[in-house]
Amino acid sequence: YPWDKSSLKSMPVDLQQFKNLDAYALKVNVKSSVEELVKALLKQARTDLEKVRAIWMWICHHIEYDIVGYHNKSQRLTKAEEVLQRGKSVCEGYAKLFEQMCSLAGIQCKQLSGHSKGNGYKIGQSFTGKSDHAWNAVYLEGRWHLLDSTWGSGSVDDSFTKFTYRYNEFYFLTHPALFIKDHFPDNSNWQLLKPTLTLQEFESNMRQNSSFYRLGLLAAHPDTPIIHTVNGKASVSVDGRPGMLFTFKLNGTKKYGLMALKKHGMELDIYPQTTGSHRLDIFAKPSRAEALGDTYDCVLEYIVECQSVDKAMRFPKDLNQPVGPSWFSERQGFLRPSHREPTIHTNDGRCCLTFTLGKDISVLSSLHCDSGGLAEETRRQHIMQIRRRNQLELKVHLPHAGTFVLRIYAKKRTDPGNYDYVFNYLIKCLNAEVKWPPFPLRYSHWMEDYEIVEPLSRLLPANRNVPFKLKMHGVAKVLVQAGNIYTLTNNRGCWEGTCNTSGCTEVFVMVHENANHSFYSHVLKYEVETQ
């Protein structure tokens, strides 16, 4: 102890080699006696490990948990023969049947008892009185190994009224440093650990459940189940294999947190909205599961003790988890992000994000905020997107101070369909002076690789000479229509010139795509300030 992260098992086990044996054991249908059952199972098992495996598989798939017996001691049957005949029992019956079947197969096996963090376990509870669970140890290849066929067979719902068969490989020859997470034997020698843990350590240690390890997760920080906020914030991180998806619930809702997906796990900051105790659940699933429709499994449970609330932290309703770039956005083609953190802080209300696009995609972005009363279409005009070959730049000028969500969407450039949401950032600006006007209105003839150098503001000053500088390729002529029409000159792909805003309320930029045509396309629209 602690676990060295090398293997979930206490001895080398190749599950592929058990495939045929497992299938055979499941089909054995002998109920006449325990002896006959063992005889039938051993027909396909040669080594001691194979014999234990066949017995384990049969019990896990043929004995169900006895809910009635659990609630009513007088109806509880735990002798091996009785368990076999009825096909159900409580943990003691599973352990007795396992012990007797091993003994008939010539394998040393012990029934163990102790405390467990099973159904009904509450974080931080203390274990007093007599033990509440039974399991086994088997002697294989010169050492003792632990297993729990009750928990290997399935699970009982929270109200303890229904058992569901759901085979769990984790509890077969579990590494003792992992078994101790939820099994504490009455005799500490049967922890099979050096050093052994005290009951107090067992009580205060984190229960990483079997799903945590089954999904390839390795460690959680903090590794104590009760965590305290510092200035209203508590932080949790999980280490695991690449390509895992995570989500969380604080008191049953996915709110008041900022979760960032990392290459090997995730990081989460939680901001409870009231003082006191809060329940935090962390869920995970492999990313390839989207195709299989896998659901998220709960892998960790914490209690968050909050002493003070961070009132300044805001979570707009349009914020999606996870926040910020990740391996997931990278997979969608957004490489080398300029901003790697989920939150962008800006004092002057402006920020500029850049990405290298690793795929041939079209990108769309939108800005969201719960305050300010602007329509989404108006807020969208506060983002300007510039494409330089495979480089993407997003300029953001905030309309006012506050907390915003920048959402980024993409689709294959050749796809006619809709854009898919990819990821989002949180943008925070506390400067109450900030009040940027929108960018110029861009019409459909404005190409994504055109660029406005100046003027960037949609609002032009009245009665002024305003310099224009626009990067546009493949056009024959560029005009600015204000009170008069001004022609811009082409200086190596940069169209430059000046227009005067006297006597007009709007200014348009128009392009002549072909010198032989007289047709102009509108590409930009500006407004002139009223005096």
Q: What pLDDT is recorded for position 294? A: 74
- Whether residue 348 lies inside any domain: the answer is yes
> Do 139 and 62 reside in the same domain of the chain?
yes
Strand 477-481 relative to strand 506-512, pairing: antiparallel
Number of domains in the chain: 4
Q: Is residue 225 part of a domain?
A: yes
pLDDT at 426: 97
**pLDDT-derived band at 379, boundaries 50, 70, 90:** confident
Q: Give the C-alpha separation, 277 to 230, whole Å.
A: 14
**Bridge partners, 485 (sequence order):** 481
Please, are residues 256 and 187 in contact by the beta-carbon 8 Å criterion?
A: no
Final residue belonging to a domain, choices 144, 165, 200? 200
Residue 16 confidence class, pLDDT cut points 50, 70, 90: very high
Whether residue 176 sits in one domain with residue 58:
yes
Query: Where residue 47 sits, what CATH number does that domain have?
Result: 3.10.620.30
The enclosing H or E element of 470 equals strand 465-471
In this structure, is residue 179 part of a structural domain? Answer: yes
Cβ within 8 Å of residue 358, ≥6 positions away: 330, 333, 334, 335, 390
The helix/strand/coil state of 231 is coil
Sorting pLDDT into bands at 50, 70 and 90, what band is 158?
A: confident
Residue 311 is assigned to a structural domain of this protein: no
Residue 287 pLDDT grade (very low, low, confident, very high; cuts 50, 70, 90): confident
| 259/324 Cα distance (integer angstroms) | 8
409 within a domain of the structure (yes/no)? yes
Helix, strand, coil percent content, the chain, rounded in steps of 5: 20, 40, 40
Check residue 289 and give its pLDDT. Answer: 58
Cβ-contact 57, 25 below 8 angstroms: yes
CATH number of the domain to which 272 belongs: 2.60.40.10
The answer to whether residue 414 scores a pLDDT higher than 60 is yes
pTM of the entire predicted model: 0.86
Looking at the fold, whether 121 and 260 belong to one and the same domain comes out as no
Side chain identity, residue 131: S
Supply the pLDDT for residue 516: 75
Structure-token pair, residue 132: 């509440």
pLDDT of residue 40: 97
pLDDT value at 74 more than 90: no
Residue 50 DSSP SS3: helix
Same domain, 235 and 283: yes
User: What pLDDT is stored for residue 213 in this prediction?
Assistant: 93
Whether 316 is covered by a domain: the verdict is: no
Question: What is the distance, to the nearest Å, from the Cα of residue 291 to the centroid of all Cα atoms in its chain?
Answer: 16
- The predicted structure's pLDDT at residue 292: 59
Instruction: Answer yes or no: 368 catalytic.
Output: no
Is the domain of 422 the same as that of 468?
no
Provide, rounded to the nearest whole percent, the portion of the chain with pLDDT above 70: 99
In 3D, which of 267, 204, 205 has the Cα closest to residue 233? Answer: 267
Annotation says 91 is catalytic: yes
Burial 420-450 (b: 16+ CB within 10 A, else e): eebbbbbbbbeeeebebbbbbbbeeebeeeb
Residue where a domain stops, chosen among 200, 233, 255: 200
Residue 12 has pLDDT above 90, yes or no: yes
Per the annotation, the verdict on 133 as an active-site residue is yes
Q: What DSSP letter does each residue of 383-447 carry, written as one string?
A: EEEEEETTEEEEEEE-SSSEEEEEEEEEEETT--SPPEEEEEEEEEE--TT--PPPPPEEPTTS-
Are residues 175 and 92 located together in one domain of the fold? yes
Same domain, 185 and 56: yes
Please indicate, yes or no, if residue 493 is contained in any of the structural domains.
yes
Out of 22, 148, 182, 269, the active site residue is 148
Mark whether 185 and 64 lie in a shared domain.
yes
Confidence of residue 493 (pLDDT cuts 50, 70, 90): confident
Give the residue numbers spanning the domain of 387: 327-429
Regarding whether 174 and 221 lie in a shared domain, the answer is no
Q: Tell me which of 22, 66, 91, 504 is the catalytic residue.
A: 91
User: Which of 429, 453, 483 is the last residue in one of the domains?
Assistant: 429
* Active-site pick, 61, 62, 115, 133: 133
Q: How far apart are CA 252 and CA 140, in angstroms?
A: 44
Answer yes or no: do 412 and 462 share one domain: no
Element of type H or E holding 270: strand 265-270
Answer whether residue 291 shows pLDDT above 70: no
Same domain for 349 and 474, yes or no, is no
Is 208 inside any structural domain?
no
Distances (CA, A) of 479 to 426, 460, 484: 39, 17, 10
C-alpha separations of 321 from 147, 259, 378 in Å: 38, 6, 25
Rounded to an integer, what distance in angstroms lies between the CA atom of residue 454 and that of residue 467? 7
> What's the angle, vertex CA 63, arms to CA 13 and CA 96, rounded to 5?
75
What mean pLDDT is predicted for residues 31-45? 96
Residues 6+ apart with CB under 8 A from 206: 181, 220, 223, 224, 225, 300
Rounded distance, CA 367 to CA 377, Å? 9
What is the pLDDT confidence band of residue 256, given thresholds at 50, 70 and 90? Answer: very high
Residues 397-425: what's their mean pLDDT? Answer: 94
- The answer to whether residues 438 and 349 touch, using CB atoms and an 8 Å cutoff, is no
Let me know whether 142 and 165 are in one domain. Answer: yes
Bridge partners of 134, per DSSP, are 113
Please list, in sequence order, all residues whose beta carbon lies within 8 angstroms of the beta carbon of residue 37, skipping any fewer than 6 positions away: 28, 30, 31, 58, 84, 101
